[in-house]
Amino acid sequence: MKYINLQEICKELNIYEFGVASWPLPENAKSILYESNPCPFTAANVEERLLGTTLFRPKSAIVCLFPYHVDYQGPSNLSRYTWATDYHLVINEYLERLIERLQTTDESALFSIHCDTSPLADRYMAYLAGLGFYGKNNCFISPKWGSYVVIGTILTTLELEPNTPLDQSCMGCNRCITACLGKCLGHDAFKYDTCKSYLTQKKGELTTEEERIIAKTPLVFGCDVCQDVCPHNQNIPTTPIPEFQAIEPFIDIGELDTLTNKEFKAKYGHRAFSWRGKKILMRNHKIIKSKKV
């Protein structure tokens, strides 16, 4: 096992929270990740969730947390994770710089980046790397940054000293379960199909009940209710990441009607809500304005 001062390298690159998960993964990984009714936005194949799209056999996983919380209490119609530059773009830039530095220590090493759009089970990898624990709200929770974090992972042939999972858990207050708009928490499995965040991204016809859930809060994309009420998210620091500090919590839905799809992509393509297109946002806005809850 070659010694690499990962802490020093990450500090130089302003990566504030990271850990290492060893490979191969635990024997019970498949049973932990198995879901009888997985969300369509999650890979159903457990093997894919364990390896992502990696073509080589890793020896370590470097897992990094990127906090995005900003203390803002004003009007918003977007979920917090979409307020700034799309985290996929930000994380990839940071991890690419990290790989460049690591390659100088071993030119033969192989690397692959995984960030949400990969099937890799990012929350599970972060747990193995000792970065936090699972909440009853189905979110990954960092002791320092709460659940307002996004996760990026580098799988590599470098053999690095692994961390161990934290001996800490959600306090189990059940506030997220009580507050959930679609009552999708607190069951044997996460009922994704009544989660407002999922429904604001769902295409096609919506049922009356689905529209009722969407109309419960002003957000036209995503939902933060279960995070807002979580005690683990109280008094957490503002993100130190510059790309996440410049926020735009509100989108003018009226303007969207004047934009072509090409113009919409040009203006909002760097935002995490843009992948579903403007019509979904306009539909959700119409539901919120017209429904009486």
Measured in degrees and rounded to the nearest 5, phi and psi for residue 155 equal -90, 135
Give catalytic residues, as residue numbers.
Answer: 116
CA-CA distances (angstroms) from residue 54 to 45, 90, 157, 197, 266? Answer: 14, 21, 11, 29, 31
Q: Alpha-carbon distance 135 to 152, whole Å?
A: 19
Q: Alpha-carbon distance 264 to 267, whole Å?
A: 5
Q: Alpha-carbon distance 149 to 250, whole Å?
A: 20
Reading phi first (left if > 0) and then psi (alpha if -120 to 50, else beta), residue 53 is in alpha
Structure tokens at 214: 């969407």
Q: Alpha-carbon distance 83 to 248, whole Å?
A: 5
Q: For the chain, give me the number of helices (H) and strands (E)?
A: 13, 6
Q: 266 with 92: CB under 8 angstroms?
A: no
The SS3 assignment for 93 reads: helix
Structure tokens at 136: 């009853």
